[in-house]
Amino acid sequence: MVQLFGNKKIEAFGLDISDVSIKAMQLKRHNRSFIPHAFADLSLPSRIINNHLIASEQRLAENIGYCLSKAGKIDTKYVAASIPESKSFVRILEIPNMREEEIGSAIPWQLEQDIPVPVDQVYLDWQVISRTGEKINVLVAATPRDYVDALIDTLRIARLKPVALELESQALSRALIGQEDAKQSMLILDMANMQTSFIIIDGGVLEYTSSIPVAGNAFTESIARSLGVSSGEAEKLKRELGLVSETKRGNIRQAVLPVLDNIVDEIKNVIRFHEEHAQNHRPIKRVVLSGGSSRLLGIADYIAARLNLGSNAPVGRVSLGDPWTNLNIAGLDDKLPLKKDEALGFATAIGLALRGME
């Protein structure tokens, strides 16, 4: 079985691979804390990964090697790598109460009608999340075999030893959700370059994931069209001014809002789905932003306003995530190589690196 929820027995560095970039992070123990030991990111040339499909295992392996050479100090070949939400299917199944060793045989026929891929063409992983009387609730993840096999082959070509493949959503929740939040229902909004993922964590358990192909690059393209500037200039304006400032060439906020409103509308759909289908009917208490595009100035305030979270809403209802929250690094700021907002782009890699250190 491929450990889609992670084999937690071996410490490894985290490797987050997307269509457009590679991010690596290794943590080291420092007393009771976990300190970033080595990290690096690398933009991928086009056509190595297309629509989350690996087009060239050899070229991707070469770029992984180059990324790790930039990190310099990564001193292990053991790696935990990410699986994108768009390449996985996550479901919570209710099945009759049975012995642990029987669950694996019961899941495939229960799942067959619930995913768009034949069960014999996916790898399955599962974990029991609750037992109530005669029923068991099981969290199941399914990922196409051809994708997983290509990823494992790529890592081995790069002379790495994969110990776990883990869903991005699992890694993100490990990095961003602290103990004080573990009993709440929360939505993680992961805004990358090519897609935005919506991840509901309920009581510390992954409940729901989905994604749309709208994110940071769409912001940049809209700014470039509206202001008549190059993509490079639009990216610079987006990072420097965000939603809170204007430029002589035009209003960046007005260029970005139509794209951002699509994301907010999907947030509302996801929250509505949770309210209608959640087993315990706990309302979502927090929306946590992550990913490089979450650093857009003013984005948290705008999303909060669109979700009608007024003065009666809990403090911090919509906020940037803290990727250091589970590293126990109070008083060790001088040992951190990245600022908190810069580290948001590494949140998945941080969660993967934490996987074997809990």
Q: Which two tokens stand for residue 306?
A: 């669109």
Q: How many C-alpha atoms does 165 have within 13 Å on its Cβ side? A: 26
Confidence of residue 316 (pLDDT cuts 50, 70, 90): very low
- What's the burial of 320, exposed, middle or buried (CB within 10 Å: 0-12/13-18/19+)? middle
Spatial CA neighbour of 259 closest among 195, 309, 320, 314: 195
User: What is the arithmetic mean of pLDDT over 29-48?
Assistant: 90
- Give the model's pLDDT for residue 31: 83
Mean pLDDT for all residues in the chain: 87
Confidence of residue 7 (pLDDT cuts 50, 70, 90): low
Q: Which two tokens stand for residue 352?
A: 């993967």
Q: Which two tokens stand for residue 68?
A: 């790790």
Pick from 113-127, 176-190, 274-288, 291-305: least confident: 274-288
Torsion of CA 36, 40, 41, 44, to 10 degrees: -140
**Over the stretch 194-234, which tens digit does the pLDDT of each residue have?**
889 999 998 888 888 889 999 999 999 999 999 999 999 99
Confidence of residue 281 (pLDDT cuts 50, 70, 90): low
**Over the stretch 89-112, which tens digit does the pLDDT of each residue have?**
888 888 899 988 888 888 988 888
Q: Which domains does the chain have, with CATH numbers?
A: 179-324 (3.30.420.40)
What are the backbone angles phi and psi of residue 228, rounded to the nearest 5°? 65, 40
